[in-house]
Chain A
């Protein structure tokens, strides 16, 4: 469809922390202009992957190429092509918003004359002009994230890496962050690589790479992933949901997950279960529902999402 080289090409990529394999021979590519989601439980290797793409870690073996540039042999050329928004803050609290932006721009080699006007434009378009000369420590969490985004895009990179960018934000701040990201993506045909735990963020992606224990176990669009499940999700609300889940698992050999007062399982013929469940448990169940699988259901089914390994990254 396109003659452009892929934005990201990863081939047989492995990374080891001492004895622990964070990535095991991962290969995939991501098209230019796409929104590419990397998902998986804690410790699945997604943060390691992002750190290798950002050239902060060197792979133990295999290669990672960004716009056909090898990340290991030309890290500085690769860094110029991308802006990164990290999980935690990367701004200096004691500096003002504008000073942080100036600092970042200079690190990327932007000239003073161009930098001042570029900062002005990006603060204005990000709705940050009013706070430009306030210290970052006085900003709300949502504001800080928007400054991070503006700073990451200051040098106009074609690629944006986001590592769980909305962790700890309230829903409206999350919404604002994504509106801004979507606007920027459209305006400059950005390629966005995103790691996330949040299902609505995963749903926004054109492609989703599902990682589990350092391996890439699926790479599809969210819709494909859901369709491939080929089954229904039966969920029920009950006061003793965990006991119910155990009983069902024991009697029918299915994997029944429990969270709070909800128990759920996958079944090819979901509708038939409604009657059965009511018959078996009657009063113990407050409500039963059958639905098509969500992205969350796909994850639960394909990884041990409910019980992440101890050594999380």
Chain B
């Protein structure tokens, strides 16, 4: 009880503020186009992989769209608290776990909706498009969206300023994204960096996304990680993030 109305309320707010849609989409798109085109010649994938840099960078771009939207949507909990809306929810007979579930699902849905728009360029370079492939892409995006949303909620629940949240998230998430294999493959990264990447949950989520786009063989050559492991780690990231958010919400208020 409580999950569905909270999901619905947040999603209604999302589509009633269309300028938010543009913001979270535009910046990654420009990044993808400019960096993707500019660095194209410097990109040297492993011998068995045949693709241009724009194509390589594409899953990273989608991950960035998901990241921006999830984190931004999870931030709404801070606004809800500041504006007083949250107190009426906390005073209602619903559990904190339902509130967090509703919030996380709604932030994830917003990120998913946003990333579906961002997927449009994929039609130009993805061949052999099938229902199974679409399903795999959706599943990978859903796991990534939910994990990042839950993680954002866990961080945001105790914060009372959106500025503080932004700076903390930039500090944690930008390095996570840079080391996710979004911009360069693990197999060509220097040794110390490849180890950092192996401890980065976002790396596995992007690896799973990559497999969903290019198929397991090419993706595994780039990431050095079996697809099943990557998918498992992405789901685990979502569950851990969700657990952290529920835990943060259960703690008594100061």
- Taking beta carbons and an 8 Å cutoff, which residues of A are in contact with B? 17, 54-58, 76-77, 79-80, 82, 84, 86-95, 99, 102-104, 106-109, 151
Contacts and interface: CB of A to CB of B under 8 A. Distances in A.
B253 A94 contact: no
Given A76-B93, A79-B92, A84-B91, A95 B12 contact: yes
Contacts of B253: 56-57
Nearest to A163: B87
Contacts of B90: 56
Contacts of B83: 88-89, 93
Contacts of B88: 84, 86, 90-91, 104, 151
Interface in B1-53: 1-2, 4-5, 8-9, 12-13, 16-17
A88 B87 CA distance: 10
Contacts, number: 69
Interface residues of B, number: 25
B187 to A, nearest CB: 47
Nearest to A96: B12
Contact of B12 (A80, A86, A89, A94): A94
Given A90-B88, A106-B2, A106-B4, 4 more contacts: A89-B84, A91-B85, A107-B93, A109-B1
Nearest to B252: A58
Contact of A94 (B1, B17, B89, B91): B17
Contacts of B85: 89-92
B172 interface: no
A56 B17 contact: no
Interface of B: 1-2, 4-5, 8-9, 12-13, 16-17, 83-85, 87-95, 252-254
19 contacts: A56-B90, A56-B91, A58-B252, A77-B93, A79-B92, A79-B93, A80-B93, A84-B88, A88-B83, A88-B84, A90-B84, A91-B88, A92-B9, A92-B85, A94-B12, A94-B13, A103-B5, A103-B9, A107-B2
A92 B87 contact: no
Nearest to B1: A109
Contact of B254 (A17, A54, A90, A103): A17
Given A89-B83, A106-B4, A79 B91 contact: yes
A91 B88 CA distance: 8
Contacts of A77: 93
Contacts of B252: 57-58
Contacts of B13: 92, 94-95
A67 to B, nearest CB: 14
B143 to A, nearest CB: 28
Contacts of A57: 252-253
Contacts of A95: 9, 12-13
B92 A86 contact: no
A86 B84 contact: yes
| Most chain A CB inside 10 Å of its own CB: which residue of B4, B13, B91, B95 | B91
A284 B87 CA distance: 52
A92 B88 CA distance: 10
A84 B252 CA distance: 20
A86 B87 contact: yes
Contacts of B254: 17
Contacts of B2: 106-107
A102 B4 CA distance: 12
Contacts of B84: 86-90
A87 B2 CA distance: 24
A151 to B, nearest CB: 8
A244 to B, nearest CB: 43
